[in-house]
Amino acid sequence: MNKSVIFGALTIAGLTAGAAAAATLDDVKARGKLNCGVTTGLVGFAAPDANGEWKGFDVAVCRAVAAAVLGDATAVEFVPTTGKTRFTALASGEIDMLARNTTWTFSRDVDLKFDFVGVNYYDGQGFLVPKSLGVSSAKDLDGATVCIQTGTTTELNLADFFRANNISYEPVPIETNAEGTQQYLAGACDTYTTDASGLAATRATFENPGDHMLLPEIVSKEPLGPLVRHGDNEWGDIVRWTLNALITAEELGVSSANVAEMATSTNNPEVARLLGTEGTLGEMLGLDAEWAKRAIETQGNYGEIFATNIGEDTPIGLARGLNAQWTDGGLLYSPPFR
Amino acid sequence: MSDSQGHSVAFVRTETIPQSAAPLTAAGPVKWMRDNLFATPANSLLTVAALYVVYLILSATLPWLLNGVWNAGSLAECREILQGTSGACFAVLTERWPQLIFGFKYPSTEYWRPVVAFLLMFVAMAPVLFFDLPRKLLIVTGLFPFVAFWLIWGGTIWVPIFALVGVIVGYLVYARFVAKSFAIGFFGGIAAAMVVWYITGFILPYVTPEEPFLTAVPSRDLGGYMLNMMLGVTCVSLSVPLGIALALGRQSSMPLIKWICVIFIEFIRGVPLITLLFVASVMLAYFFPPDQTVDLFLRVVIMITMFSAAYIAEVIRGGLAALPKGQYEAADSLGLDYSQAMRLIILPQALKISIPGIVNVAVGLFKDTTLVSVISMFDIVGMIRGPILASTDWNGVYWELFLFACAVFFVVCYGISQYSQWLERRLATDHR
Amino acid sequence: MLLNDTRYRSLTLQAIAAILLALSLGYIVSNLLANLAAQDLNISFEFLGSPAGYDINQTLIDYTSQSSNMRAAVVGIINTLLVAFLACITATVFGVIAGVLRLSNNWLVAKLMSFYVEIFRNIPVLIWILIIYTIMTAVMPGARSYLGDDPDIDLLGGLFAFTNRGVYIPAPFFTSGIGGEEGSVINWLIVIAALFGSLFATRFMTARANKIQEDTGVRPNTLFINLAIWLVPLVVLAFILGLSWDIPDPLANRFNLRGGIQIGAPLIALWFALSIYTGAFIAENVRAGIQAVSKGQTEAASALGLRPNRTMSLVVLPQALRVIIPPLISQYLNITKNSSLAIAVGYADITATLGGITLNQTGRAIECVLLLMLFYLTISLLISAVMNVYNNAMKLKER
């Protein structure tokens, strides 16, 4: 009794909120907003623009889920998290899903009790060096000072890589990408290492991006993907299949431009199932029939999201590479919508 | 008689000669310099060294300060304008000051709200800080938390009104029963307020308008110096009553209560604030019911309040211990019970002695609010280290930003400590 | 009613307090258990034994990424104690100098010192740490300027290098000591033992000089004997053990200087910032302590014909110390606690290893934060215990 009174008082103050217990979906619907954990700022993946509006590749996934569940892609509360706070934020229910270029690893999946719902970016750890350093391979970095973001898998990969090659290094641990950039540019470290995509995004913000280069070595596998709490499979399914819908949409040629038209005029039964004109897939998820259509309409398909946020025409300039559709020799392979 | 003498003795003056100026070496600036700067050879050497240090500092900073550029879009533009001469790039402040003050997510159309709250704060604090002001002003102080909450967070006005109603009902219950027994009044008041809050918690959803007069701002959008201010003011004002309770508990003759307070105080004082902030950011969530989450801002307020309460409790304990035993005995001999003796005799005197110490704790606490940047809250230090220094435009503008942060903290902290010294002189009622 | 009966009031109140305490603790623990159960987690300290997997840049004991999390925590503890120890010493030096000079007759110097005290006391220590760290990383020359055959900057005196990654100084080592070229800790223990021997010898000499002075009225000059007592054993030891210096080498590596002792930029930033910040507080304590000695004491000393410096050292300071030392020790405690801000500059103290990287990598937030608090609590209690012992010993013994 006493406790609920206190929380009654706090709720009046607007400082507490009912968090996700069992049914995250119900909570999100009741709240009318999706709480989505993102980075504290990595241009291209998740960063607030000059107006404080969050933009980026991971952000698009959050918005797509919000569009699918709530019918409003703007009904997202973005919660910036660091390497330290992200898992606690998810576990404690402060956020409903985490889309913060988080690497899918065994221990995070099994030991920390999270469910990775898929991979939205296949990445690997790379090294960023100034061209003036005259280094052409990561194996030349013997004795170098390396900036690393702590609390990430890159920290462990780095130790493994240097140990395997029997060379030494001086780690400079940093908390956020912003600090890493400053340290690297100030010359406090010779090289900055994190996911290659992140390095490309970071380099794009430099005054002279041309003075810096990525070393050819990719020293680890970093499948990055959104994750949810363990145990709420319905919610996990929604996030998983929203992501799959974006990927499938690209494969089937459905884009934000033609989705409305496709929904009415398609002959392809899978497109029809995806867009909810045929079958009851949405109902099975506990959503309405047009969930995927809304997600694609507002955010575009996977290819569009990639191109607008991190693709070759953006300052970040990442090639599709492993992140091409399986039909184009990449790894993106969504299970069928059936 | 004197006249005749005056005429007869010619060599006696009739008036004093005008005082001639003291020798140059015995008065004026020269004497002052001899006394204060060049009294001994060693002293002269020290003066010369100090002058050199002053010269070094000024020659390094003055051109940089005076040559500052106030209008530019980026560091590169600044450098272009400066053409290689030494000069500060204060343009970062002109461009980013809203972010430094309010954080980067507070809606820019709503900046007037925290500003109004800030100005109101002075009105609200005035009667507390200066005793000469009319006591009626205390009403403003009482209303201020609710108004400030509404201004800063926005949302429906019913939230602060209901909260206020709870407080008023609590006070009425307290006033009704306090004559009987302080404890009944006090706890009855709290219980009444809780009941009101609990009930209004059910009413609230029905009266909440769709479009509140002030747009709601979630507390994770608070940032910048405003966040430091809010944390500082909230936590200090919350921790004073808690600190008094802890200090009294520590003095208590009841062993259990005494030991609870001792353990709490020593535990909190034994660990750094940053570990308590870690508790707030990664651990506290586990201590709340599984179906509730508590805002990070509130979690941080809880931990910082506990932190400063422990320190304030120690200061007040010192004040209690400094009171002569006769005061306690006098209270007893008048037949006052414990709460009356404390409220009417002991605490007014003990708190007066403790004020300088409490102010010191408050200043220290206000400075420590910068630590929240470590748990990824964007206070002024967090803003500088994060969004601003990481932006393409301003990467490398360290000193101007740090100077700004130093200045805003110095003004407030120095101001508070000057106030505390004034108060100390003012309250010095002992007759020596 | 039990509350109104003075015989039982205290017991009743305590019983109520006990019930409330038990209820709130039970509430917290049940929430904790419910939360953990909901997420299928448990509290376990087994992670301490598993390999840490990450590297640390500044370690005083052997550590590799294959060492356990426990050892990483120990590295952190040692680093915390190191920076706290260094900062306590320098803060005391700054504080005493500034505190004494602030009372100086010299107007300019006194004003400068007030300026220092006010500026540093009124700005958060975190900002000072960041400013000094920025000076270290952004203003100091890059490490590579020292490297190569034809470097941009030569080592200062061929021995010292000041780079944006830290300061390099020559490291002493023993060529013919126990353990040969590699050297072993025993050599250093021998040196420390010799230093202690010298310390006792000088104390003996002082006592002897005092006795002679009391007997004969003439104080023998002990300066040269004391100097010899300090220097001779060191010189002899250096010769026997084959003292040699490992000088930073600009040619061994293309990224960094190799050899010598590297004092990393984070350590320097933390050390220096804590020193000047706390120094300002200590200066105030020293000033208050000196002013607490009544003027009559100084006047009495002058009346006895003591010179000003002997007045200071024999009359004022011993009395002032009684007032200065307790707040000084709590400043030391503050330094130790503030050293946890190391995390802001990436210095591998206990907060950064156990409370930072280990916590992040293992996700064991509750366990790590608990251990972290336990460590600081232990240190604080130890320092408080020392303070209590000192206070009891120094208590004015009134008769």
Give the pLDDT of residue A306: 92
- Nearest residue, CB atoms, A182 vs list B76, B293, B389: B389
Domain extent, residue B241, equals 221-432
- Whether residue A276 contacts residue A297, with contact meaning beta carbons closer than 8 Å, is answered with no
pLDDT at A26 over 60: yes
> CB distance B402–C34 less than 8 Å?
no
Residue B432: band (very low, low, confident or very high) from pLDDT cuts 50, 70, 90: very low
Within an 8 Å CB–CB cutoff, is residue A131 touching chain C? no
Same domain, C82 and C113: yes
Subunits with 3+ Cβ pairs within 8 Å of A are B, C
Distance from the Cα of C10 to chain B's closest Cα (Å) equals 6
Mean pLDDT of C291-296: 87
Distance from the Cα of A64 to chain C's closest Cα (Å) equals 26
Give the pLDDT of residue A6: 54
> Which residues in chain A have their CB less than 8 angstroms from residue B95's CB?
none
Distance from the Cα of A145 to chain C's closest Cα (Å) equals 7
- Whether residue A154 contacts residue A87, with contact meaning beta carbons closer than 8 Å, is answered with no
Spell out the residues 6+ positions from residue A123 whose beta carbon is closer than 8 angstroms to its own.
A101, A103, A195, A196, A197, A198, A222, A223, A224
Give the pLDDT of residue B12: 74
Same domain, C9 and C153: no
> Which residues in chain B have their CB less than 8 angstroms from residue C337's CB?
271-273
The phi and psi torsions of C78 (rounded to 5 degrees) equal -60, -40
Could you tell me the CATH number of the domain that includes residue C315? 1.10.3720.10
- Whether residue C282 contacts residue C321, with contact meaning beta carbons closer than 8 Å, is answered with no
Give the pLDDT of residue A15: 55
Same domain, C296 and C390: yes
Give the pLDDT of residue B1: 47
- Nearest residue, CB atoms, A188 vs list C27, C56, C265: C265
Same domain, C151 and C271: yes
- Whether residue B166 contacts residue B190, with contact meaning beta carbons closer than 8 Å, is answered with no
Can you list the alpha helix ranges (DSSP code H) found in chain A?
A: 2-12, 24-31, 57-70, 86-91, 106-110, 153-164, 177-185, 196-204, 233-252, 259-265, 269-275, 281-285, 291-299, 302-309
- Nearest residue, CB atoms, C363 vs list A87, A142, A190: A87
Start-to-end CA distance of chain B, whole Å, equals 53
Residue C303: band (very low, low, confident or very high) from pLDDT cuts 50, 70, 90: very high
Within an 8 Å CB–CB cutoff, is residue C24 touching chain A? no
Distance from the Cα of C347 to chain A's closest Cα (Å) equals 8
Question: Rounded CA gap, A226 and A236, in Å?
Answer: 10
Start-to-end CA distance of chain C, whole Å, equals 50
Token pair listed for C372 = 């972290």
The helix/strand/coil state of A229 is strand
Give the pLDDT of residue B128: 81
- Whether residue A65 contacts residue A239, with contact meaning beta carbons closer than 8 Å, is answered with yes
Q: Which residue does chain A place closest to B396, by CA atoms?
A: A182
Same domain, C31 and C93: no
Residue A153: band (very low, low, confident or very high) from pLDDT cuts 50, 70, 90: confident
> CB distance C39–A231 less than 8 Å?
yes
Distance from the Cα of C66 to chain B's closest Cα (Å) equals 27
The helix/strand/coil state of A48 is strand
Distance from the Cα of A330 to chain B's closest Cα (Å) equals 33
- Nearest residue, CB atoms, A150 vs list C27, C258, C360: C360
| Domain residue limits, chain A | 24-120+224-328, 125-220
Distance from the Cα of C356 to chain B's closest Cα (Å) equals 10
Token pair listed for B4 = 């005749």
> Which residues in chain A have their CB less than 8 angstroms from residue C255's CB?
141-145, 190
Give the pLDDT of residue C3: 62
Domain extent, residue C272, equals 49-170+247-394
Exposed (0-12), middle (13-18) or buried (19+): which is A85, by Cβ within 10 Å?
buried
| pLDDT, averaged across chain A | 84
Within an 8 Å CB–CB cutoff, is residue A322 touching chain C? no
Give the pLDDT of residue A1: 35
Give the pLDDT of residue B389: 78
Same domain, C150 and C80: yes
Which residues between 53 and 72 in chain B have a beta carbon less than 8 angstroms from any beta carbon of chain C? 53-54
Distances (CA, A) of B371 to B228, B377, C125, C297: 10, 9, 9, 45
Cβ-Cβ pairs closer than 8 A, A with B, add up to 131
- Edge-to-edge strands, sheet with A227-229: A76-80, A34-38, A97-98, A227-229, A114-116
Spell out the residues 6+ positions from residue C252 whose beta carbon is closer than 8 angstroms to its own.
C258, C259
Token pair listed for A195 = 């996911």
Give the H/E segment covering residue A210: none
Token pair listed for A304 = 């569009």
Q: Is residue C226 part of a domain?
A: no
pLDDT tens by residue, C311-326: 888 888 888 888 888 8
Exposed (0-12), middle (13-18) or buried (19+): which is C128, by Cβ within 10 Å?
buried
Subunits with 3+ Cβ pairs within 8 Å of B are A, C
Question: Rounded CA gap, C270 and B407, in Å?
Answer: 21
The helix/strand/coil state of A146 is strand
Token pair listed for B253 = 């003759």
> CB distance A19–B293 less than 8 Å?
yes
Residue with structure tokens 């006249």? B3
**Mapped to the 3 state alphabet, what secondary structure does C61-73 carry?**
CCCCCCCEHHHHH
pLDDT at B8 over 50: yes
In terms of DSSP bridges, do strands C171-174 and C261-264 run parallel, antiparallel, or are they unpaired?
A: unpaired
pLDDT tens by residue, A232-278: 888 999 999 999 999 999 998 888 888 888 888 888 888 888 888 88
Phi-psi region of B184 (alpha: psi -120 to 50; beta: other; left: phi over 0): alpha
Give the pLDDT of residue C312: 81
Give the pLDDT of residue A23: 78
Q: Is residue C206 part of a domain?
A: no
Residue A19: band (very low, low, confident or very high) from pLDDT cuts 50, 70, 90: very low
Exposed (0-12), middle (13-18) or buried (19+): which is A21, by Cβ within 10 Å?
middle
What whole-number percentage of chain A has pLDDT above 90? 18
Mean pLDDT of C275-291: 92
Could you tell me the CATH number of the domain that includes residue B330? 1.10.3720.10
Pick from B182, B343, B177: nearest CA to B248 = B343
Give the pLDDT of residue A62: 93
Q: Which residue does chain B place closest to C113, by CA atoms?
A: B50
The distance from CA A50 to its chain's CA centroid, rounded to whole angstroms, is 21
Same domain, C12 and C77: no
Distances (CA, A) of B135 to B165, C146, C366: 22, 69, 48
> CB distance B194–A9 less than 8 Å?
yes
Torsion of CA A130, A135, A137, A142, to 10 degrees: -110
Give the pLDDT of residue A177: 80
> Which residues in chain A have their CB less than 8 angstroms from residue C253's CB?
142-143
pLDDT tens by residue, B265-298: 999 999 999 999 988 888 887 888 776 777 788 8
> CB distance A143–C255 less than 8 Å?
yes
Distance from the Cα of A264 to chain B's closest Cα (Å) equals 35
What number of other Cβ atoms are within 10 A of residue A322's Cβ? 17
Within an 8 Å CB–CB cutoff, is residue B270 touching chain C? yes
What number of other Cβ atoms are within 10 A of residue C73's Cβ? 21
Number of domains in chain C: 2
> Which residues in chain C have their CB less than 8 angstroms from residue B36's CB?
105-108
Give the pLDDT of residue A20: 42
Give the pLDDT of residue B204: 76
> Which residues in chain A have their CB less than 8 angstroms from residue B296's CB?
94
What number of other Cβ atoms are within 10 A of residue A143's Cβ? 17
The one-letter amino acid code at C182 reads E
Spell out the residues 6+ positions from residue C50 whose beta carbon is closer than 8 angstroms to its own.
C68, C69, C362
ipTM entry = 0.87
> CB distance C14–B410 less than 8 Å?
no
> Which residues in chain C have their CB less than 8 angstroms from residue A169's CB?
55
Distance from the Cα of B42 to chain A's closest Cα (Å) equals 43
> CB distance A144–C39 less than 8 Å?
no
Exposed (0-12), middle (13-18) or buried (19+): which is C201, by Cβ within 10 Å?
middle
What number of other Cβ atoms are within 10 A of residue B259's Cβ? 13
> CB distance A151–C356 less than 8 Å?
yes
Distances (CA, A) of B169 to A1, B164, B184, B185, B241: 20, 9, 15, 12, 20
> CB distance A151–C40 less than 8 Å?
no
> CB distance C53–A159 less than 8 Å?
yes
- Whether residue B322 contacts residue B353, with contact meaning beta carbons closer than 8 Å, is answered with yes
Number of domains in chain B: 1
Can you list the alpha helix ranges (DSSP code H) found in B83-157?
A: 91-102, 112-129, 138-153
pLDDT at C181 over 90: no
DSSP A211: G
Mean pLDDT of C383-397: 79
CATH number at A125-220: 3.40.190.10
Same domain, C252 and C356: yes
Within an 8 Å CB–CB cutoff, is residue B389 touching chain C? no
Question: Rounded CA gap, B415 and B232, in Å?
Answer: 15
Spell out the residues 6+ positions from residue B172 whose beta carbon is closer than 8 angstroms to its own.
B192
pLDDT at A289 over 50: yes
Class of CATH domain A24-120+224-328: alpha beta
> CB distance A173–C138 less than 8 Å?
no
Mean pLDDT of C180-197: 79
Q: Is residue C195 part of a domain?
A: no
Angle between helices C69-102 and C107-121 (to 10 degrees): 150
The phi and psi torsions of B214 (rounded to 5 degrees) equal -110, 130
- Nearest residue, CB atoms, B294 vs list A16, A181, A205: A16
Cβ-Cβ pairs closer than 8 A, A with C, add up to 99
The one-letter amino acid code at C355 reads G
Start-to-end CA distance of chain A, whole Å, equals 48
A24-120+224-328 and A125-220 in the same fold: yes
Within an 8 Å CB–CB cutoff, is residue B290 touching chain A? yes
> CB distance A178–B389 less than 8 Å?
yes
Mutate to test the interface with A, among C44, C255, C351, C368 (most CBs of A within 10 A): C255
Give the pLDDT of residue C397: 64
Give the pLDDT of residue B306: 93
Which residues between 166 and 225 in chain B have a beta carbon less than 8 angstroms from any beta carbon of chain A? 166, 194-195, 197-198, 200-201, 204, 216, 218-220
Give the H/E segment covering residue B273: helix B273-278
pLDDT at B335 over 60: yes
Question: Rounded CA gap, A138 and A145, in Å?
Answer: 12
Question: Rounded CA gap, B15 and B11, in Å?
Answer: 12
DSSP B157: T
Distance from the Cα of A114 to chain C's closest Cα (Å) equals 9
Give the pLDDT of residue B9: 62
pLDDT at C398 over 80: no
